[in-house]
Amino acid sequence: MPAPGELSVYGRDVAVRGLLETVWRYGPGSPCDFFCTPDPVSGESRARDLLRQMLPTRPNRSARIHDASLLRDRFNEFDFAVWHDFDCDMQMAAAMRARLSGRLFPITSLVHVLSYAGLLGGWVLPLLLERLYPCDAFICPTESCKTALRNLLAHVSERFAQGFGCRREFPGELAVIPFRVDTELFRPGRRAEAREALGIPQDRFVIGWVGRISPVDKADLVPLLRVFAGLRATEVTKPLLLLAGSGAGPFQHAIMRCASDMGIAKDVQIISPLPPEKRADVHAALDVFTSPADNLQETAGLTPMEALASGVPQVVSDWDGYRETVLHGKTGFLIPTLWARCDAEIALRTGLYDGHNLLDHFALAQTVAMDVEAYRLALQTLLDNEDLRLQMGDASRRRASENFSGERIAGLHEDLWDHLCEVAGHTPFEPGLGKAHYDVPAYFDVFRSYPTKTIPGHAVLATASAGADVARGASRLPFYYDVAAGFARADLEVVLQIVTAEGAQSFEKLTRLVTGALRVSESSARGHLLWLLKYGMAECRL
């Protein structure tokens, strides 16, 4: 999630933050548990700090923020109704449920991006190999995203079956719930104020793009420049093209060079970097919002939704989820796009450049064509017709309020979770199945050849002189990273007292005593005893 003051923003961050705030503000009064992984030395957690800022106190609702290590140590103390993962990591949640839970509960996961080739083997295949149930669901922001996800799952399932002779399929649901747009932050009626804040002339007709200025993972803006150059201006409506967002300097330089070659550089303005909190000002300052998105990385598109809420007509490519946001002829115009099968060589060389295949995304996007004449005509129509702009602006605001408000999106999530809980109640569960799963590591069995020796059960442990000093209060345990490693300082002090009180005893007997005292497994008890050896608090005679 973007923190206050950050100068770049990604749709994933906005979507996650929006859903958190929405569910918290509009959801029912049931408590919410959040799990964060703190820094192992300082104990600090940026995610925890952001959650505390984002989740103000509600009279009838509590937010409990925990160290994620508690999931490992005390999993069944949390009576989960639903486990929701904001970052699409359903496989991790399902693995923990299979290994540690004694009951079935639904797992839902928010979908962000589907186009990176590394997801095939690094996300989709492990997901299909995991123990999942009909009560689990991916939440897609658009029908287009749902279709792509279904195709992606089927692709990996079919290729796996062809290569290994067995088929694995996702048994859960693919739900569609739109992203939320903040209709209080993004709202009409602030044009003069916003333009003054951004330094935009009050008398210009402003066509604007808001988003990452990058043809590699968002949109090629050069076709937009060509369309803009073809608009017929009048003395009254002199158009200005505003490009606002974050992006690499070379891309901005290329855009301005193209604008200069076309003779329109004086009518193109770039605001970059654009702080996240300024996005609402940019939308409010526009006469028309435009986005020629052409990249597979896009799954929904938040900026057209923000334009809707701001009461600004949209002229966007008919691409992915845009067509489900923009109502052609009512809130704006959808510009037809064309594509054909031309990905064979790109697919074979995927991964050659970088882990996210962004250059491959760029190469593919260069083959997605828009109807540039339809694009020009749509912008020209809005440039010439103020009444139509006002009608579309009003329709846009109504659509955002009725379909993408926080209250509605929260209700859709709650309905889905209620439905999945009902499904879980009628679904047989096989607890503990994952303990024998291939991805549960066997660290000791695999790496037992690494140490000089391993400790047999009959080996004798006794307190060393340093441990004796600690036991009688003459010194303290050494500094210890007790935040994440699973050995709390108080527990280690108990174990040291046991070893000191028992004198020289076998490793096997001390393991049993520690198991009972700490109420942990024998494996964990042995780990605590080994910690004493590691730090010189105890000594071992084989």
pLDDT in tens, the chain (542 residues): 344 444 445 677 787 787 878 877 787 767 788 888 777 667 777 777 777 777 766 666 777 888 887 787 778 788 889 999 888 889 889 988 988 888 999 999 999 888 888 888 889 999 999 899 999 999 999 999 999 999 999 999 999 999 999 889 999 999 999 999 999 999 999 999 999 999 999 999 999 999 888 888 889 999 999 999 999 877 667 899 999 988 777 888 999 999 999 999 999 999 988 888 889 999 999 999 999 999 988 888 899 999 999 999 999 999 998 999 999 999 999 999 999 999 888 888 776 655 556 788 888 889 999 999 999 999 999 999 999 999 999 999 999 999 999 899 999 999 999 999 999 999 999 876 545 667 777 889 899 999 999 999 999 999 999 999 999 999 988 866 665 566 788 899 999 999 999 999 999 999 999 999 998 889 989 999 999 999 999 999 98
Note whether 301 and 279 are within 8 A (CB): no
AA letter at 283: H
Cite the residue boundaries of each domain of the chain with CATH code 3.40.50.2000: 191-403
Distance separating alpha carbons of residues 50 and 357, to the nearest angstrom: 30
Q: What pLDDT shows up at residue 10?
A: 67
Note whether 377 and 228 are within 8 A (CB): no
Distance separating alpha carbons of residues 395 and 490, to the nearest angstrom: 62
Distance separating alpha carbons of residues 127 and 395, to the nearest angstrom: 41
In 3D space, the residue among 372, 373, 370, 392 whose CA is nearest the CA of residue 382 turns out to be 392
Distance separating alpha carbons of residues 160 and 166, to the nearest angstrom: 7
pTM of the model: 0.85
Neighbours of 119 (CB within 10 A): 18
Among 3.40.50.720, 3.20.20.140, 3.40.50.2000, 3.40.50.920, name the CATH number for the domain at 191-403. Answer: 3.40.50.2000
Neighbours of 57 (CB within 10 A): 7
User: Could you tell me the two tokens for 403?
Assistant: 């379909």
Q: What pLDDT shows up at residue 485?
A: 63
Note whether 308 and 180 are within 8 A (CB): no
Distance separating alpha carbons of residues 451 and 316, to the nearest angstrom: 62
AA letter at 148: A
User: Could you tell me the two tokens for 527?
Assistant: 């780990």
Note whether 360 and 295 are within 8 A (CB): no
Q: What pLDDT shows up at residue 361?
A: 84
The residues, any chain, with a CB within 8 Å of residue 281's CB and separated by 6 or more, are 190, 194, 197, 198
User: 438 exposed, middle or buried (CB, 10 Å; 0-12, 13-18, 19+)?
Assistant: exposed
Answer whether the bond into residue 273 is a cis peptide, omega within 30°.
Answer: yes
User: 56 exposed, middle or buried (CB, 10 Å; 0-12, 13-18, 19+)?
Assistant: exposed
